[in-house]
Structure 1
Amino acid sequence: MDTNISPTLASPQVAAQDQLALKQVWENIQPDSCPYSYNFHMHTRCSDGQLQPEALIEQAISIGLKGLAITDHHTVAGYYAAQSFLEQRQQSLPSGSVPHLWTGVEITSHLLVTDVHILGYAFDPMHPSLQPYLHNKPNPFKIPQAAKVITAIQQAGGLAVLAHPARYRRPPEKLIPAAADLGIDGVETYYAYGNPKPWQPSSKRTQKVKQLSATYKLFNTCGTDTHGLNLLWRV
C-alpha cells in the first residue's frame, strides 16, 4: 500500500524533520515499497558511498521515489548537499514529482557487547544531543552505547531504527528485544542480506524480523543500503 505524503507549506528543513509524515509511511511499508517507492538506507561519497548527493537525488527522481533518507555514517553533509540540490531541481519539476527527503544518519554503537548500526531519521541535525556523533567516522576506541545514541536521536526530535538486524554477530532474537528495552522506534525489516539483483528482501530473515517487530510494537522500515552507483541495489 502506498501512502500519500501531504504537500507542506513548511520549509524543506522543517519537512525533513516531519516525524509524523514518516511514521505514516512506515505504518504502511510493504515488501515491495523499496526500492521504487521508498528507500530509507543509502550512502553518498560523504561517507563510504560512491554517489555524489546530487547524483543520488537525480536517480531518486528518475526512479520515482516518493520519500527517502540519506544515511551516511556519522555525518549529515550528504543530506545538506542533497537538500540544496533538490530545492533547485524543484523549480523545474512538475508538482508532486519531488520526493520527500528526510534527515538521516547511521551511527555505530554497542548493543549487548556487539557493534551495531543505529539509523536516525527526521531529526534536527543542529540539535546539541547529536553533535558528538556527527564527526564523519566512528572512533573505534570510543564507540558509544546504543542507549545513548537512541536517546540522542530522540532528543533531537527523531526516530531511531536498528539497521539490518539479522546481520550481526548476535541474532535478532537477542538484539531486537534489547533495543526495544532501550526505547528504539523501529527495525529495518525489509533488507536484502544476500545483495540480490534485482533487490528484494530476504524472505526468511524478513519474516523473523517482522515477527519480532510486531511482538515489540516497532515500526518496520526498508532500504537498499546502497553504497554503489545504483539505488536499486546495495553495491
Structure 2
Amino acid sequence: MKWIDLHTHSNFSDGTLSPAELIDLARQRGLTALALTDHDTVAGLDDFLAYGADKPLEVIGGIEISAWYGDESLHILGYGLDHSDPELNLALDQLQQARHQRNLKILDKLNSLGIDIKYADLEYEENGQVGRPHIARALIRRGITGDFQEAFYRFLRRGGSAYVDSFRIHALDAIRLIAAAGGAPVLAHPAVMDPTLSGLPALLPELRQAGLAGLEVHYPAHSRRQYQDLLRLAAEHGLIATGGTDFHEELRNGVPLGGSCRSGRVPYSCYEELTGYLATKQDNPA
C-alpha cells in the first residue's frame, strides 16, 4: 500500500522543518506523495517544488487559508494553484499584514502581564509567516510554560489572557481565489469545525457553487464515524476526498508525518483523485 500526506506545514509558516527537510522526512517514512500547505503564505513553495523536482516522491504545492463563514472559523486548503497569481498574493499580503499586527498586540498583552517577550525573540524564517505557535515556542524557551498545550490554554487560545482575535477572509472568497488561480479548493478538517457534522450538509451546496472541490476526509482527529460520514457527504456532493496529518513537527500532536496505524494514513488514491481533478480543470478551464 502506498501512503501520502497532503496537509503539512514548514518553517515558512508555523512548522519547524524547512520544505527540503519535509521532503527528506517524507522519503524516510516511505511516502509516495507530499503537499506543502503553509498557513496564508506561498513563500515556501518555490523551495519545496524545486527540491522535490528530482526526488522519487511526487510533490504538489498548496496553501491553507484562514477564513470565516457566519460565526465559524473555516480553513480552506488549496492544491496545484499558480502561486504567483497576483490576486491571490494581494489577498495573502493583507492576511499577513493583519497577522503581523495581531502578533504585536499579543506581545503587548504578554508584556502587560509582566512577560517580557519582544518580536526579536521569536524564531522564524526570514520570508515566512509568524503566528501564535512562534509565540508559544518563545514562552516555552523562557520557561513560562512547559509545552504548547499550556501556552495556548493560558495565553493564546480564545479566552486566554493574551488572546487577540484574528482577521480572516470569507470562506467563499478564499475558495474563489484558489479556484481562479487554477487550484483545487478543499475544506480542511470539517469535523474539527463541526464535530456532529450536522451543519455541513446545508453549507456544502453554497461552498460547492463557489468552487469547492473536496473535503479533507482523512484527518487524525476524525473519528471512524466522522470519516464514514464525510466520505458519504463527499460522494453525495460530487467532491473529491483528500487527507493529511496537519504535520508541524514531530512532537507537536504526536502524529508523525504520513500518519501511523493509530492515527490513520492517507491512501495514494486520494492523490490520484486530486491530480485527476486538476488535470480535468486544466483541460476545461472556466
Q: State if a TM-score over 0.5 links the two structures.
A: yes
| Bigger radius of gyration among the two | 2
Q: Is there any run of 5+ residues in structure 1 with no aligned partner, and where?
A: 3-35, 194-200
4+ runs of 1 displaced by more than 4 Å?
Answer: 136-141
1:110 match: 68
Note the 1:95-106 alignment, pairs <5 A.
Answer: 98-106=56-64
In the other structure, the counterpart of 1:215 is 236
Deviations 1:133-157 (A, max 9, x none): 4347464553111111100100000
Write the distance in 2 (CA, Å) between the matches of 1:171 and 1:67: 31
SS of the equivalent of 1:105 reads strand
- Cα distance change of structure 1 residues 170 and 132 upon mapping to structure 2, 3 Å threshold: farther
- Counterpart of 2:28 in structure 1 is 62
Residue of 41, 44, 58 corresponding to 2:7: 41
Aligned residues: CA RMSD: 2.4
Task: Calculate the TM-score normalised by the size of structure 1.
Answer: 0.71
Aligned mates of 1:179, 1:49 — CA distance in 2: 30
Query: Which residue, 202, 220, 233 being the options, matches 2:223?
Result: 202
Q: How does 1:5-84 map to 2 (within 5 A)?
A: 37-84=3-50
Q: What secondary structure, in the 3-state scheme, does the structure 2 residue paired with 1:182 have?
A: helix
Q: Which residue does 1:224 correspond to in 2? A: 245
Q: Equivalent residue for 2:218?
A: 190
Q: Deviation at 1:79?
A: 1.9
Question: Residue 115 of structure 1 aligns to which amino acid in structure 2?
Answer: S
SS of 1:82 mapped into structure 2: helix
Alpha-carbon displacement from aligned partner over 1:15-34 (angstroms, at most 9, x marks no partner): xxxxxxxxxxxxxxxxxxxx
Q: Cα–Cα, structure 1 residues 176 and 192, in superposed 2: closer, same or farther, change >3 Å?
A: farther
Aligned length: 186
Residue type matched to 2:12 in 1?
Answer: C
Distance 1:73 1:49 in 2: 10
Aligned to 1:13: none
User: 2:205 is aligned with what amino acid?
Assistant: A
> 1:50 deviation in Å?
1.5
* Partner Cα separation in structure 2 for residue 231 and residue 66 of structure 1: 12
Amino acid in the other structure paired with 1:84: A
Contact 1:111 1:178 (C-alpha < 8 Å) held by counterparts = no
Larger helix proportion of the pair: 2
The one-character-per-residue Cα deviations of 1:191-234 (angstroms, maximum 9, x if unpaired) are: 110xxxxxxx6311101211211221111001011011341449
